[in-house]
Structure 1
Amino acid sequence: MKVLMVLTSHDKLGDTGKKTGFWVEEFAAPYYVLADAGVEVTLASPKGGQPPIDPSSTTEDAQTEATKRFDKDKELQEKLSKTKKLEEVKAADFDGVFYPGGHGPLWDLATNLESIELIQDFYNEMKPMALVCHAPAALANTKYNNEPLVRGKDVTGFTNSEEAAVGLTDVVPFLIEDKMNQLGANYSKADDWQSYVKVDGKLITGQNPASSEEAAKALLRFL
């Protein structure tokens, strides 16, 4: 079983002067769910190399069992520092794909042509795809039969109220909840910060960091 994990390369939080990137829990929890089940996980990002970590995801209140394990896992840290470039990977070589969130994907993966093509290829090859929190941004410009890929699909993602709670509503280029609704998806959500995962065919989406482990388990079931 081979799964591709796609991380953001974007580290600037709009014009705030602050840093962003991927959310550690949304990478670590799914990684260990998959790896512990014997899945071979390949890491990739638009620019390759070390993807930026969102500093907010390393604070004390953001720690989980998975992030603590990652902090001690020198082997995985080394692997993470050497992600492949997206242009070097193709859907045909994998059984599924997982996109962790963090705010970074709103800026790069939403419009990255390699990522868009990759997702469309996974979809056309009927392979499972999981995207968590802000990572559904990567679906924003994907198409199927010249229609938005998510049109009519049951999806979730970071909510408008969760974005308001972290004070970034006016910083992000778009809101996940609004974007999914604009694209004609059947967007739904649970209470803020609760684990919530939607599965439609082989498209899996998770609402927030707390949903990342459950999304990975859903992906695993398809493998």
Structure 2
Amino acid sequence: MKNILMILTSHEDMENTDSKTGVWLGEFTDPYYEFIDQGYSVVLASVAGGKPPVDPLSTLTENITASNRRFLNDKIAEMAFEDTRVLEDLNLATFDAVFYPGGHGPIWDLAVNTTSGNIILQFLDSGRPVAAVCHGPAALIAAATIRPGLLAGRKVVSFTNAEEVLTFRADNVPYKLETRLKELGADFHSALVPFIPHVEVDGLLITGQNPASAGPTAKALIEKLEAQTVSLH
């Protein structure tokens, strides 16, 4: 059985506003159930441990996904979400891949978290895939800070500058993630139309653009893991 590590943000405050952020719920639940339904086990961890903040907008009716509803009736998943592990306490050898959901939180905490950055490097160095969606790819900034040039020429996508503007949150973030990833040398490829599913795969690095890309990003990770398994036999 494959073991997936999911790393969540612990940050909820935004700039120049009383609005809160955190994990975008569907970007956690959509991938979570893709993995669970594949028979994988999932361990949840976060920067601070315990229950991560949830972006209130992601619980509004128009943003609710089928997996959100399933999560609300899933006591096992809810208990895991209420009590995420601290990054420093993980035995990384037990995991086959790591997945970073979004929500705006990661652009504050995971982008500068050295422990998370080192986890990404350990996974890539040992041939294990790293996947991230929406603002989750902000975690790659920490890895690229530790290892300059990490993203140079690599195909990557994240929530785009245009999508940031269209969600009226461009003034509430310290920087735009697309711009920062390009500054780090990433070969940024986004969909022509905002908010449609889009996934980029570059070797062991899998990134998705927006909330609609969360499930597809998880599926791409599963395909990568299954292909690795086949190649081992």
Q: TM-score, normalised by structure 1?
A: 0.96
CA distance in 1, matches of 2:16, 2:94: 38
1:25 aligns with 2:26: yes
Distance 2:146 2:69 in 1: 43
Code of the residue aligned with 1:132 in structure 2: it is V
Q: Does 1:128 align with 2:148?
A: no
Conserved in 2, the CA contact under 8 Å of 1:120 and 1:144? no
The verdict on how the C-alpha distance between 1:35 and 1:164 changes in structure 2, with shifts beyond 3 A counting, is same
- Farther off after superposition, 40-49 or 71-80: 71-80
1:192 partner letter: P
Aligned-partner residue type, residue 56 of structure 1: L
- Sort the Cα spacing of 1:124 and 1:144 in 2 relative to 1 into closer, same or farther, 3 A: farther
Q: Distance in 2 between matches of 1:94 and 1:115?
A: 14
- Higher helix proportion (structure 1 or 2): 2
1:208 alignment partner AA: N
Structure 2 portions without partners, runs of 5+: 226-233
Please give the alpha-carbon distance, in whole angstroms, between the structure 2 residues aligned to 1:160 and 1:11.
20
Rounded to whole Å, the distance in 2 between the matches of 1:38 and 1:106 is: 31
Distance 1:145 1:8 in 2: 19
Partner of 2:80: 79
Partner of residue 206, structure 1: 208
Note the alpha carbon deviations across 1:119-144, whole angstroms, 9 max, x for none.
11111111011100001111113139
| Partner amino acid, structure 2, of 1:69 | R
Write the deviation string for residues 46-86 of structure 1: whole angstroms up to 9, x where unpaired: 11010110001000110111111112222211111010001
Shift of the 92–103 alpha-carbon distance from structure 1 to 2, 3 Å rule, reads same
Following TM superposition, where does structure 1 have runs of at least 4 consecutive aligned residues deviating by more than 3 angstroms?
A: 143-146
Matched-pair identity in %: 45
What is the RMSD of the two structures over their aligned residues, measured on CA atoms? Answer: 1.3
How many residues align? The count is 223
Confirm or deny: 8 A CA contact 2:23 2:102 kept in the other structure. Answer: yes
Q: For 1:1-223, what aligned pairs fall within 5 Å after superposition?
A: 1-143=2-144, 146-190=147-191, 191-223=193-225
